[in-house]
Amino acid sequence: MGLYLTEKHIKYKDGKDDHVSPFFIYHNNNKRAKFFCSLKVNNKNWCFDKKRVKSTDKESGIKNRKIKTIKSQLESIISSFETKKEPLSPEKLKSEFETVKLLDSEIKKVKTKPTINSKIPNGPLSSKWESHKGSINLVSPSNKRNIDIIVVGTGLAGASASATLAELGYNVKAFCFQDSPRRAHSIAAQGGINASKNYQGDGDSDYRLFYDTIKGGDYRSREANVYRLAEVSGNIIDQCVAQGVPFARDYGGLLDNRSFGGVQVSRTFYAKGQTGQQLLLGAYSAMNRQIARGKIEMFSRHEMMDLVKVDGKARGIIARNHVTGKLERFSAHAVVIASGGYGNIFYLSTNAMGSNVTASWKIHKKGAYFANPCFTQIHPTCIPVSGDYQSKLTLMSESLRNDGRIWVPKDLTDAKLVQEGKLSPLDIKEEDRDYYLERRYPAFGNLVPRDIASRAAKERCDNGFGVNKTGEAVYLDFSHAIIRYGKEKALLNGQDENNIEIVKKLGREIIKQKYGNLFQMYEKIVDEDPYVMPMKIYPAVHYTMGGVWVDYNLMTTIPGCFAIGEANFSDHGANRLGASALMQGLADGYFVLPYTIGDYLSDDISTGKISTDIKEFEESEKGVNDLLTKLISNKGKNSVDYYHKKLGKIMWNKCGMSRNQNDLVDAINEIKKLRNDFYKNVNVTGKITEYNEELAKAVRVADFLELGELFAKDALERNESCGGHFREEYQTKDGEAIRDDKNFKFVSAWEYVGEPSDAKLHKEDLKYEEIEVKTRSYK
Amino acid sequence: MKLNLKIWRQQDSESKGGFENYVIDDITPDMSFLEMMDVLNQKLIYENIDPISFDHDCREGICGSCSLFINGRAHGPDKGITTCQLHMRKFKDGDSIVIEPFRAKSFPIIKDLVVDRSAFDRIQHSGGYISINTSGNTQDANTTPIRKEDADNAFDAATCIGCGACVATCKNASAMLYVSAKVSQFSYLPQGKVEAKERVLNMVKQMDDEGFGNCTNTGACEVECPKGISIKNIARMNREFYKAKI
């Protein structure tokens, strides 16, 4: 078989111009079946030269990609018919393909000019933030009292923003779906928070933190935002210490640091393996102070269901009270989305059970662009999946890679025996182990960035070297560190450093001090002692770099609607470095948004209270009510989890650690089908006006089912491999990513226009003024 | 594994609740306790029965949401864990398991196994913070050295996840361990000294106002605390309290 893209000149009766249209010829068993793409465009610019649009054409790049996309979609349809051994006629092909619709939407896209303005201040990088702060509009203290701000989400970003905005004098209404703001999933962050304090004197600086973050993000993040992040990182530590956050200290009483992946300095501040918890409790305490003062009104067990726009501006939300099940209206002069990432689209992830995309997706549907949805972080060190009933995955902190060494057996027969449970890792000799990260990346070894470590694990496992019964696990081994620390301690204690039992005992104590809670967590879940047996780990979805598009002021494309923390996209590019999520959440909430929001609100000082008894609120509430009614009265045959699990499988298998064109096209179609089935056959038990977790879940899953499609489309259109986005078509012979800076050095900002896969692409070109764009290498 | 479950069901805070019996099959030892609950709930949904509501979120023992009283013990029969970290390997085939919400006057039931712990939040509002504003120019974090021992003690107290196991397990439904953890954390740190007096007085008052009982030094809270918060913190809070009263 074969499929050829050719060209044809057509003269329509009504027009005088020559029209050029592409069409495809499909060959099967030497029979030629013609398939005509009726590209009904009266556009002279469409000229073809050997299957390519001429480079002189202004839009040639885009058009060529369209043609390639169309071709690949056709190929995938044909190959699916071939595997099913069904005869394929041009008519069938045509109906499958929905040519006209697809081409129409493609063409509209070509005509649309980019409409996004990132509002990056002028001037040299190092003074942009300072001069911007000095020149933006302020709101006077007496006027702040008359301004309301809604903050959705109370993780690090939301809690720190709520507290700081209230301190400044604004009236804050904060929302979380959990029973208390302290339970937001930032609490589960383990390893630490980066800051360029250079307390260790190892050459750290704002520039180096900035550089590492841009490089770690594979040159897909916005330079000015990242520099600002590095600049304020030190203030975060000062602020947290002042709040009484008990960071780890050394014996001199000063703050201790450790090292994380992708960097060569020690800049990570930590509180054992519970850094996120301590930072969140710090921000929560700052909120509590403002709640006591009446400056924050806290709405726990409330979930945002929709954004309300009045005259194009964000003016409020509709929230569902989880206890009563009732919908409630809230108005404000600005709405801040701090609802975190969408990793739960994969069903299995390290996110909390309730983490969801609903707030971000609802604002997307109301006009906020969604950026780089396909940039997802798969964390290399998580406890592997053990069964179908599994509800979530547990992370083992990246800090473990400071001391743990990752390996699999060198020999396939050994790996087989291990998988069958016939061989213990302890019986595999040193020379028969493949420390593949140290082998492939000698400069960074086990501390390569997360995307690289994850892919390397997948590569070994895909080749049959996995070490558990499913073949999807690698070892993280502390035996060397135990011996190393043990010998050191034995020397200090004056004990026999050659007595292996003494050395092991001492070494284990040191490891326990450093990672005790993580080891305990592992043992509880896996029921194996990680001090003796190497840990088994496998990559799992952990963080989403993509998110709502925001400008330098953290405002979305909806005036008055802001997005901060993991919910936005700006700072981590295509891959986030360890211990940078906490930094970004707190930077946005404590030090960036409270300034930049004033610039917008300065126009609102005489607006006065916004009534919720207006038609915009009414309509929005009705929309939500209709959706809830539809879900609850559907009484189909499948549970909400059934759909969530199915979606997760599609996402993991086709949009996971490595992606290819065919899979992504399949994913779009499968998700679409699944979504239709969901609305037909989902069964949501209970009533609307009661505590109903199934209904809350159903709304979240409905939004994931839409986001999934956009996610796959974004991955399909990004024809390059960068950071967490690895396209199999774009790799070197030894499996390293090939990034395409010429064609893809941009942020994909998607505008919602109806069906998720019809979304309109806007590109924000990424300009790097102070940094040389290089191929990322950790070798 | 096959299990006989006896689970507290209650429509809402106004209704009268009661135990319901459920039998469940196909439970494997590697499942977590909450995954067992998931399996049961899926079964109920397919039988068109309302699933059992329970609080849970992170499922890795840190958010403090989960709050089940299992066979008479807060977070069930294992030490140093939350319910979500409890695994079915702690049970045997044929076991009967009684599952109740965390019970205390100050934790009214919302539905089934979900309770309202907002009293805990209100105690924090009354003084669980250090009054400093956010600014880019707080003093440098290393200006004031803090003894490692003090920092470690403050950290140990600060690991409280606010789950309420201490209250649920206490015969007096006392919240002393919870409140003392916060008071104690700040009492170890120089930052906390400035407002020490008002903090302890206000937090203790709020605790009493919420209707929590008193401490009679039984120590059950320390035993059941998933984070191993020590009752030494209660002693420390009492000292802080007397100091403030004098």
B152-193 pLDDT tens trace: 999 999 999 999 999 999 999 999 999 999 999 999 999 999
- The pLDDT averaged over each successive group of 10 residues in chain A (779 residues) is 48 49 52 46 38 60 68 71 68 62 45 73 95 94 96 98 98 98 96 95 96 96 98 97 95 92 90 94 98 98 98 97 98 98 97 98 98 97 92 91 95 96 96 96 92 94 95 96 95 93 95 87 93 96 97 97 97 95 98 97 94 97 98 96 97 95 96 97 96 98 98 97 95 92 96 92 94 88
Test A691 with B129 for CB contact under 8 angstroms. no
A639: which chain B residues are within 8 Å (Cβ-Cβ)? 42, 45-46
DSSP β-bridge partners for residue A306: A318
Q: What angle do CA A447, A451, A453 make, to 5 degrees?
A: 45
A382: closest CA of chain B, how far (Å): 12
Single-letter amino acid code for the residue at A7: E
Residue of B nearest to A350 (CA): B58
Interface probe for A, chosen from B11, B56, B63 (most Cβ of A below 10 Å), is: B63
B78-101 pLDDT tens trace: 999 999 999 999 999 999 999 999
The answer to whether residues A632 and A746 belong to one domain is yes
B35-57 pLDDT tens trace: 999 999 999 999 999 999 999 99
Q: Calculate the alpha carbon distances from A767 to A220, A411, A741, B200 in Å.
A: 10, 47, 11, 54
Torsion of CA A512, A514, A517, A522, to 10 degrees: -70
Test A285 with B128 for CB contact under 8 angstroms. yes
Domain, as residue range, for B54: 3-111
Is A196 at the interface with chain B, CB within 8 A?
A: no
Interface probe for A, chosen from B40, B58, B87, B90 (most Cβ of A below 10 Å), is: B58
A281: closest CA of chain B, how far (Å): 8
Torsion of CA A569, A570, A574, A579, to 10 degrees: -100
CATH of the domain at B32: 3.10.20.30
Listed in order, strand segments (DSSP E) in A128-177 are 148-152, 171-175
Structure tokens at A573: 């590019």
**Quick one: which of A571, A567, A551 has its CA closest to A559?**
A551
The answer to whether residues B126 and B230 belong to one domain is yes
Phi, psi of A567, deg, nearest 5: -65, -25
Burial class (CB in 10 A: 0-12, 13-18, 19+), A252: exposed
Query: Is residue A440 annotated as a catalytic residue, yes or no?
Result: no
Test B51 with A693 for CB contact under 8 angstroms. yes
CATH of the domain at A675: 1.20.58.100
Single-letter amino acid code for the residue at A539: P
Return residues 376-435 of A near B (CB < 8 Å).
386-387, 389-392, 394-395
The answer to whether residues B174 and B231 belong to one domain is yes
A592: closest CA of chain B, how far (Å): 10
Buried/exposed code over A460-490 (b: 16+ C-beta within 10 A; e: otherwise) = bbeeebbbbeebbbbbbbbbebbbebbbebb
Of the partner residues B117, B135, B185, the one whose CB lies closest to the CB of residue A179: B117
Domain count for chain B: 2
Residue B136 lies in a domain: no
The answer to whether residues B232 and B121 belong to one domain is yes
Distance between CA atoms of residues B188 and A245, nearest Å: 11
Of the partner residues A240, A244, A694, the one whose CB lies closest to the CB of residue B186: A244
pLDDT for residue A730:
95
B31: which chain A residues are within 8 Å (Cβ-Cβ)? 387, 389
The ipTM assigned to this model is 0.98
pLDDT for residue A272:
86
Single-letter amino acid code for the residue at B10: Q
Q: Where are the alpha helices (DSSP H) in A85-138?
A: 90-97, 99-111, 125-135
Q: How far is CA B208 from the centre of its chain?
A: 18
pLDDT for residue A83:
72
**Quick one: which of A663, A643, A647 has its CA closest to A655?**
A663
The answer to whether residues A532 and A631 belong to one domain is no
Structure tokens at A233: 């990182």
Structure tokens at A328: 């409630």
A552 neighbors A120 (Cβ within 8 angstroms):
yes
Residue A359 lies in a domain: no
Test A591 with B30 for CB contact under 8 angstroms. no
Residue A232 lies in a domain: no
**Quick one: which of A352, A374, A304, A281 has its CA closest to A152?**
A304
**Cα-Cα end-to-end distance for chain B:** 59
Domain, as residue range, for A398: 386-537
Distance between CA atoms of residues A334 and A172, nearest Å: 10
The answer to whether residues A642 and A529 belong to one domain is no
Phi, psi of A754, deg, nearest 5: 145, -110
Residue B135 lies in a domain: no
| DSSP calls for B154-200 | HHHHHT-----HHHHH-TT-B-HHHHHHHHHHHHTSHHHHTTHHHHH
pLDDT for residue A23:
53
The answer to whether residues B154 and B230 belong to one domain is yes
Test A160 with B134 for CB contact under 8 angstroms. yes
**Strand duo A171-175 + A148-152: pairing:** parallel
CATH of the domain at B217: 1.10.1060.10
The answer to whether residues B70 and B162 belong to one domain is no
Domain count for chain A: 3
Structure tokens at A52: 């390519």
Q: Which distant-in-sequence residues (6+ apart) come within 8 Å of A210 by Cβ?
A: A226, A227, A229, A230, A771
The answer to whether residues A532 and A632 belong to one domain is no
Distance between CA atoms of residues A511 and A526, nearest Å: 19
A323 neighbors B110 (Cβ within 8 angstroms):
yes
pLDDT for residue B190:
97
pLDDT for residue A64:
67
Buried/exposed code over B124-149 (b: 16+ C-beta within 10 A; e: otherwise) = bbbbbbbebebeeebeebbeeebebe
Residue A35 lies in a domain: yes
The Cβ-side half-sphere exposure at B215, using a 13 Å CA radius, reads 21
A600-616 pLDDT tens trace: 999 999 999 999 999 99
Element housing A313 (H / E): strand A313-321
Q: Choosing from A450, A576, A659, A776, which is the catalytic residue?
A: A450
Structure tokens at A83: 């595997």
The answer to whether residues B53 and B125 belong to one domain is no
**Cα-Cα end-to-end distance for chain A:** 43
**Strand duo A52-53 + A48-49: pairing:** antiparallel
A209 neighbors A194 (Cβ within 8 angstroms):
yes
DSSP helix/strand/coil, A380: strand
DSSP helix/strand/coil, A225: helix
B139: which chain A residues are within 8 Å (Cβ-Cβ)? 238, 242
Q: Where are the alpha helices (DSSP H) in A31-59?
A: none
Distance between CA atoms of residues A395 and A387, nearest Å: 17
Residue B139 lies in a domain: no
**Quick one: which of A585, A525, A764 has its CA closest to A153?**
A585
pLDDT for residue A48:
37
